[in-house]
Amino acid sequence: MVEQPKIPKAPKRPKAPTKRQKAYLGKLVEQKGKRVVVDLDAESHACLKALIDTGFAETQSGVIRKALQESAIRLRKKRT
């Protein structure tokens, strides 16, 4: 019988949603991040979904982060 390799366990995360949220927000503060709530109209939401569907990023927050970062880089390049 072949022995299966051991798969490392994922770090434990709090089970209660409020504890998870508190841990996430604490980590965000430590990283000097900022939580932002954004309301999108139908057109912007469709654009967001299209970017995910085409593989621009895997998640909504990933699309927003990547688009912001790429836009900021383009603006910096124009200024120099």
Spatial separation of the C-alpha atoms in residues 12 and 6, rounded to whole Å: 17
- Chunked in runs of 10, what are the mean pLDDT values of the chain (80 residues)? 71 75 90 92 97 96 96 91
Would the pTM of this model clear 0.75, i.e. be above it?
A: no
- As given in the structure block, the two tokens for residue 38 are 């954004």
pLDDT of residue 7: 75
The residue ranges of DSSP E strands in 1-80, in sequence order, are none
pLDDT of residue 51: 97
The number of helix segments (H) and strand segments (E) in the chain equals 3, 0
- CB contact at 8 A, 52 and 60: yes
